[in-house]
Structure 1
């Protein structure tokens, strides 16, 4: 006799879960995934320092545009030029790090 039959109330949670566990089938294993991309393709060999330098150029361009258009650096947007300056500063640190030979993916092999 179960507890719910003895007390006349609703079944206990462990009784309900016991019935559910028997009724739910085990999931099937997922099929193996195929690698993305066409076979024989290799990643492009780009210098990490060149990519960081490109980012610096984009931050400099954003700073010039932000300072040239008054609506982009007044009022609520007065922090936008400082965001560009921070991008230039951090990018310069990254560029110096890359130029020293550290952090270049080609040297990691």
Structure 2
């Protein structure tokens, strides 16, 4: 991927103190203490809540919105697959 200037050089990320012009700053993202599998659990729970609301309020799934029920169903299925994948120790997150 090329830089905005088109010359392939990396662009500086701001002007950190003491950096020389034309160099790139090393950015270290903060460490995330949230485990990935916990995030997946909360995501599945959120999709379950959306599904319950859609099933409880008939006006949300009538007419041209009859497909809305399948959105949280797909989210739940995807989340469960992701959960199973992480429980088996796969994925790129350490200690997922």
Question: How many residues in Structure 1 have an aligned counterpart in Structure 2?
Answer: 77
> Which structure carries more helix by proportion?
1
Q: Name the CA distance, whole Å, in 2 between partners of 1:58 and 1:70.
A: 19
Aligned pair 1:66/2:54, yes or no?
Answer: yes
List per-residue Cα deviations over 1:18-71 (Å, max 9, x = no partner): xxxxxxxxxxx997214698x8x7322211111011100000000000111111
- 1: CA distance, partners of 2:33 / 2:57: 38
Give the 3-state SS of the residue equivalent to 1:92 in structure 2: helix
Q: What is the aligned partner in structure 1 of residue 85 from structure 2?
A: 97
Structure whose alpha-carbon radius of gyration is higher = 1
Which of 4, 9, 32 aligns to 2:12? It is 32
In structure 2, list runs of 5 or more residues that go unmatched.
Answer: 1-8, 15-24
Equivalent position to 2:41, from 39, 53, 62? 53
Q: Distance in 2 between matches of 1:42 and 1:63?
A: 34
Provide runs of 4+ in structure 1 moved above 4 Å: none
TM norm structure 2: 0.68
Match of 2:94, SS state, is helix
TM norm structure 1: 0.60
